[in-house]
Each structure stands twice: as structure tokens, then as C-alpha cells.
Structure 1
């Protein structure tokens, strides 16, 4: 029998689901910002009933973050809209409208707040992990316990009062114990046991955190060698882009020198000869910089192709759960080589997570030039004049920039095996006992 949250989500149409996902992301971003402030000891006692309100429409021509996200999916809502009203009727959000007299007409502000039922529906519908239970560690404390376990039997520093309480003071027995007089700690047997018993649960709670499987005989879903390989491919793209920019700026500077007029101190036979030599040298620098820029541009295009093929192969392996360890590294390396050779990218498979499929499939369609917008982007989102001064390198072909955007989108979901852990969370102790 489906849960109440799942039933609520299934009752929504695609437009309503998109609204709820965008609003949920905005809600969670605010919550994350407040958590970071609290960790930095900047406390704000504003109640949640106040800070959870999200602006959807504000007076003036500027679009809100919610409107911009919706516009990227060809969805426009200039006012409160029937979609927001329907979601309010379902009890998933609250809507607040305020009208103020302006110089010419009334100006309206529309704000939205997700209810608990609304947040639960999105988490269930998009398979977002639920909140941690009593006794479970925060993400930062869990990351520190991972560091402690990896360092064992060496020591690791523990920073922050909350983290120290979570690992040392609150558990009985503690998960870490002080070693020496310098604030360093070593993991205890209780900490090892907590790691072993709740590793699967934390994989669900924090899929973006890479934690080694406590079962040493189990295959590592995201080998360290693969992380190194992908980072190396990404670094090659970054370095080629830097080389292209440097070469272009050198060419622009040299070209300016070729057009330098004869100065007063260069008059006369010797001065004229000296000026001619400087111009000839500048022209040689122009030609050298042009060659370097062309080489860097070619390396940049090749690097983007290789990186895009590599992350897409890792993405497919994450979805199909069919390659591990050295086999996964070999497959990704082979895909990168195919990308360097100019092979076309294959359409990414669907993973079943709506938020991931929507982003990846949209990025792929835009890279292939097959996505047609039903409505043009708002003029506020169209590119304006560049804030960079001076001449710019020739823009890359649209196909290459599309592949770069696609690679960045895919990489954000597969990083450190996060997608694989989310799609195939290891069986928890409760599940194993039930089976």
C-alpha cells in the first residue's frame, strides 16, 4: 500500500510536480544556508514559519529564482497561477499574496511556503532521503567518523563543539577517544561498530558522501582510481581553456605592438630601423600566439569530448550497476579514448529519478540541438553584454559547448558514486533480517 506522501505525489500532473520540485530545492537551499551559518556560530532565532517563505513573484522586472528555474523548463507563471492554487488546495503549500499601490498600478508579491506534507511528497516522489533519526549523525559528523576510520590506528582532529558532542560526549560508549594532548582523536570499537551497522543507512541519508564499504570483500562502487581518472580528464579541459585564453591575450598584445606608431625618439635612420625590428618581432609573436591558440582550442575541444564520454560511461554504469573496480575504470578510459577519436555520444539511459532524468535528458537534447523551446526565454535571462574587457577567443562550436554543459550536469550527479549509492543502497540490517 502506497504511503500518504506517495499518494499525494502520484496525484499531481507533470507541471505540478515540476513546481513542487523547484520549490523544494529553494526551501532546502535556505535551510542549508542557515545550517552553514549556525556551524560558523552565526545564529538566527527567526522561526521556520518566517524563513521558509519563498518569493515566487516580486514587484518589478527582475525574475525570482523560482521563475528563472521554471523558465528553463518552458514553464511561465506571471502571477499566483492556477498551479499554485491547486497545490494549496492539496495541502502541499501555503500561498501568500500582497498587493501594494505603486505609482501607476498595484504591484503584487506572491510568496509560497511548503507544508510538511509537501516536503514529504517531494522527498518520496523524487526518492530524496528522509531526515535523520534520533541517534544518527549529521553529515559533517559522519564525514569525520569516516576520516577516523580511514586513519585508524592513527589520529584525526575533531573540530566543532557539535561534532565533538556527537562523536565523543553524547554516545555511550563514545565513538572516538582523545589521544595525547593536542586535540586529536582515535576511533573506538563503538565507533567501528556504529560505522559497520549504519553504513547502509548513511548511504541513503548522504548519497553525496563517499564512504568505504565496511565489508572488505565487497566491490567498491566508486574506486579511487576512477576519481583520479575523471579529475585528470576534467583538469585537462581546464588547462586547455587556460592555455587558450593566455595565447589569445598574448596575440592581442602582440597585435597591438605591430600597430605601434613611430615615436619621437625613434626618428632618424637608426630609430626607424629599431622600430621596424620591434614591429617584426611583434608580428612573429602574433604568429606564434595564433599557433598556440589554435593548438589550445583543438586540445580544449578534444578534452571536452573525452570528458563527456567518460562521465556518460560512468553514469551508465551507475544506473545499470554492472561494472566495479578496475572494470569500471577501464570502461571509462576506453570511452574517453573514443571521445578523443570523435565518436558521437550515445543518449544517456534513464535512471528513474525524476530530478536526475529531467536534468540529464534536457542537457543531452540541448547538446544535440534537438530540444525546441515552446516559449522563448524571458528577456531578463537572455545573455547581455560581456562583463569581460578586451577581445575574447572565438566561441567554441555549439556542439562542443553543449557537450561541456552535458558533462557538467552528469558529473554533478555521479560524483564519488553518489548516484549509484542512491539507486542501489546497500541492504540495511533491518532489510537483511526481514529477508
Structure 2
């Protein structure tokens, strides 16, 4: 049976879904920022009914963040009013219009605020990770419990009252023992970790939590992390070398263009100045060569990076390689990228938000994405005005963006855990006791084949 939230999402067209998703992302970004401020001691009593409003259209000023994100998806403002009205009729958002003073005088600003039904519809439609239930740890507490589990039987120095409240003060019985710095996991904490691990990996896929039953089943090998980090650092070093060569070229060019100072009373001074000018011109030629070489090195590093990351992304989706085999496959893919191999389209994982972002990044990288209009000036990068080197060719810059997009989803095995969550220990035990066919098989695997089970437990 389809739930109310999923039914609300299914009733929307693609444009309405995109608007709702963008508004949801803006809403969650503001909420996360306020939570971070509160964690740092900066409290604001403004009610949610006020701070959840998001500006959608603000004529006479720069593009709003909502407009910029819609522009990236080739969606313009011509139909913004009708789209917002449709979402309001569905009860997913509220809309308000007000006149504000702007840099170009008074103008009408259109704002929107998601309702509870609107947020639920986005979560259902994009298969976002489920929200935690009563009695379950928040991500902050889970991250610290993971640190204590990894350090067991040792202690971990964690400062701050929030850790004490999350693991010692509030839970009954306490999940940790200690205070003001040194904490150790308790037996209740170990039991909580073992029995809730599968649930928390779905709630917080970005937290690298080792499997309590099988240390070798950690979905992201340490050796793979090192390989991907090395590929990324190679790109960063090449960027730095290219920028340094460009700076040296600019400095030498400035010296070479200085006028020759002639001193009729001191011919040696004039001769010395001419020599400095000639040396500056030589430095310009040398720096230009260094910048060209650094650019070539950067392009090779980016190709290796994107091929390696995409191979790890494919393995995360297909769940077909582990440990040494996965590391070897990523290394081989990176080597093929250095030799100039073409990239293949990313495989689809079944999660709309991930597939949409990956396919868009791939289309940008390969130049196959067709835009109805050119990007507005606010969206066009102009590095030259900041004194930096010339922008990379579109295809190379697109490859780097594709690699970063894929990395954001697979880091620490997050995507693998989300697509192939392991079975909770109690579920496995119950299945084994029933004697049913396939009992004891890990969740997400049927007959040795990977399946994408994303049902909320």
C-alpha cells in the first residue's frame, strides 16, 4: 500500500518535484546551520514558522540560492508562479508575497515554506534515510559511541558536556562511563552497538561504523581509502604547482615589462638594469613552460582520479568486490585513466537523488548536456579576475566535478551501506531458528545476488 507521503510525491510532475526538492534542500541547510550554531553555544529563539521561509524570487537583486540551483537544472522563473501555486494546492508548501526595499528600489519578493507534508513527500520520493525513532541516538552520540567501540577496552578523550549527556547522563543504563575527558564503553553500550548497528548504518550512512560481528565485513577497506586519498592529493598538488607557476610567471612578466632606466652618468647601472630585464624575460619563458607542464600533469591526475572513483562507485552499487580485489580494480582503473581511456556512464543505483546528480555531472563532463540557454553571468566562473591561472578546459574541469560528486556519495562506504544494509543480528538469529529457506543470509543478498532493499526496518 502506498503511503500518503509517497502518493503526494507521485502526484507531482517533474518540474514540481524539482522545485520541492530544491526547497527541501534549502530548508534542511538552514536547519543544519541553526543546529551547528546551537552546538557552538549561539542560540536563537526565532520560531521555525519564521526561519523556515525561503526566498524563491527576488527581482532587482542577485539570483537567490533557489534560482541558482534551478538554473543549474535548466529550469527558469517563467513558470515559478504556477509551480508554487500547484505545490500550495497540494498542501506541500505555503507561499507569501511581500514588497521589499532592494538595491534597485522596491520590488516584490516571493517566498515559500515547506509544510510537514511537503518534507515527508520529499523524503518518501527521494528515498532519503529514515528519521530516528524515540530512544535512538542522534548522529552526534552515535559517532562517539563508534569511537568508544573502536577503542574498547581502552578509553577515549572526548571533551564537552554534550558527550556526557548523550552517552552517560540520558541513557538508562549508561552507554559509557567516565566524565570530563576520558570515556570507556560499558557493557550496555556494547550491547546497544551490537543490536542497533544495522539500524544506525541506515540512519547515518556517513559514519564509518565497523560491523560488530565481523571486522572483515567493514564495507570500506582502509587500503581503498588510502588509494583514493592518494589520487585526490595528486590532483591537489598539481593544482598547487600550476598556481605557483602562474604566480611566478606574473611576477616575472611584471619585471620584464618595466621600462629600461638609462643613466648617462653611469653606464654600468644601465647595463645592469638591461641584464635584469633580460633575466626577467627568461624567467617568463621558464614559468610558462612550468605552467604548461603542471597543466598536463593536472589533467593526467584528474583523469586517474575520476576513473578510480567511478570504479569504486560501481563496486558500491553492484556490491561485487571486496578488500584486495576492490583496491586492485580501482588502481587498474586509475592507471587506464592516466593512459587516456574514455570514461563510461555511471551505473544507476536506484536512488533518485544520487542517480540525478551523477547523470548530470557525467553529462557536464562529457559535454552531452544540452542547455536551453546559457548560464547567467552570476553562474559563470571568471578566475582571471582573481589573478589565477586560465580555467581548465571544460571537459577536464567537468571530470574533476564528476569525481568529487561520486566521492561525496561513496566516502567511507556510505552508498554501499545504504544500498546493501547488513542484517541486524536479532533478525538473522530469528531467521535461522525458523528453518526457512535462505535463513541466515545477509540482508540485501538473495541467492548470492545483490538486491537493493531500502525498506525501513
After superposition, what is the alpha-carbon deviation per residue over 1:73-93, rounded to whole angstroms, capped at 9, x for unaligned? 111225752221111111211
Aligned to 1:331: 329
Whether the aligned pair in 2 keeps the contact of 1:80 and 1:110 (CA below 8 Å) is no
What is the aligned counterpart of 1:212 among 193, 207, 210? Answer: 210
Aligned to 1:319: 317
Query: Is the deviation greater in 285-294 or in 234-243?
Result: 285-294
Task: Provide the rounded CA distance (Å) in 1 between the counterparts of 2:190 and 2:263.
Answer: 79
In the superposition, the TM-score normalised over structure 2's length comes to 0.88
Whether the aligned pair in 2 keeps the contact of 1:79 and 1:110 (CA below 8 Å) is no
Runs of at least 5 residues in structure 1 that lack an aligned partner in the other structure = none
Aligned to 1:86: 86
Aligned to 1:408: 404
After superposition, what is the alpha-carbon deviation per residue over 1:279-334, rounded to whole angstroms, capped at 9, x for unaligned? 34334333332332222111101000000111111111111111111111111111
1:371 and 2:373 matched: no
Aligned to 2:447: none
Residues 110 and 431 of structure 1, relative CA distance in 2, 3 Å threshold: farther
Task: Provide the rounded CA distance (Å) in 2 between the counterparts of 1:385 and 1:284.
Answer: 26
Aligned to 1:394: 390
Aligned to 2:307: 309
Aligned to 1:120: 120
Whether the aligned pair in 2 keeps the contact of 1:54 and 1:113 (CA below 8 Å) is yes
- State the aligned residue count: 431
Query: Is the deviation greater in 365-374 or in 337-346?
Result: 365-374
Task: Provide the rounded CA distance (Å) in 2 between the counterparts of 1:266 and 1:198.
Answer: 87
Task: Provide the rounded CA distance (Å) in 1 between the counterparts of 2:80 and 2:299.
Answer: 44
Task: Provide the rounded CA distance (Å) in 1 between the counterparts of 2:234 and 2:100.
Answer: 54
Task: Provide the rounded CA distance (Å) in 2 between the counterparts of 1:292 and 1:266.
Answer: 38
Higher RCO (CA-CA < 8 Å; seq separation 6+): 1
Query: Is the deviation greater in 309-318 or in 47-56?
Result: 47-56
Aligned to 2:172: 172
1:95 is paired with a residue of what secondary structure? strand
In the superposition, the TM-score normalised over structure 1's length comes to 0.92
Whether the aligned pair in 1 keeps the contact of 2:177 and 2:186 (CA below 8 Å) is yes
Residues 414 and 8 of structure 1, relative CA distance in 2, 3 Å threshold: same
What are the residue-to-residue correspondences of 1:8-407 with 2, within 5 Å? 8-78=8-78, 81-99=81-99, 107-178=107-178, 183-216=181-214, 218-263=216-261, 268-383=266-381, 386-389=384-387, 392-407=388-403
Residues 17 and 429 of structure 1, relative CA distance in 2, 3 Å threshold: farther
TM-superposed CA distance for 1:65, in Å, is: 0.9
TM-superposed CA distance for 1:351, in Å, is: 1.2
Task: Provide the rounded CA distance (Å) in 1 between the counterparts of 2:169 and 2:101.
Answer: 56
Whether the aligned pair in 2 keeps the contact of 1:56 and 1:66 (CA below 8 Å) is yes
